[in-house]
Amino acid sequence: MSHMAGARLVLDEMFSPAIAAALRDLGHDVVAVAERGELRAMTDEEVSAWATAQGRWLLTGNVKDFRPILLRALQTETPATGILHTSSRAFPRSRKNPGPLIQSQHAWLRAGPPEAPITEDWLLGTR
């Protein structure tokens, strides 16, 4: 799969700001919804629109809400952010050990997101 470097990412509200900070320390342009008051107050549609306007992919474990937003945008040919899906099964949501999730995001960001027209990707844990 072809990727483009220089990805920018926003982490959905379920992810700790500490994860975004760790990724910034590794040189990535990452923000977390949970660290920005204006984003925390937004609906999923508004977060998606904000990410699109900022040129950021959105990391979320909320497939059931964000996938329909993406599909509606694609059907109406509206610009839409790319969505990087993950799950609590692949990366258990433990504040005590976010290392595997951070390392996986770091590798994905270094490789860069898939190029258009691909608008979704999955962040999978190691087995």
Report the alpha-carbon angle 57-58-61, nearest 5. 145
CA–CA separation, 62 and 33 (whole Å): 14
Phi, psi of 8 (to 5 degrees): -115, 145
Contact 40, 50 (CB under 8 A): no
pLDDT score for 119: 87
Domain ranges of the chain: 11-109
Q: Residue 5's pLDDT band (boundaries 50, 70, 90)?
A: low
**pLDDT tens digit string along 36-84?**
999 999 999 999 999 999 999 999 999 899 999 999 988 998 888 899 9
**pLDDT tens digit string along 93-115?**
766 778 889 999 999 999 888 88
**pLDDT tens digit string along 14-34?**
999 999 999 999 999 999 999
CA–CA separation, 27 and 42 (whole Å): 27
Give Cα separations from 86 to 40, 101, 123 (angstroms).
20, 9, 5
Crossing angle for the helix pair 44-54 and 63-75, to the nearest 10 degrees: 60
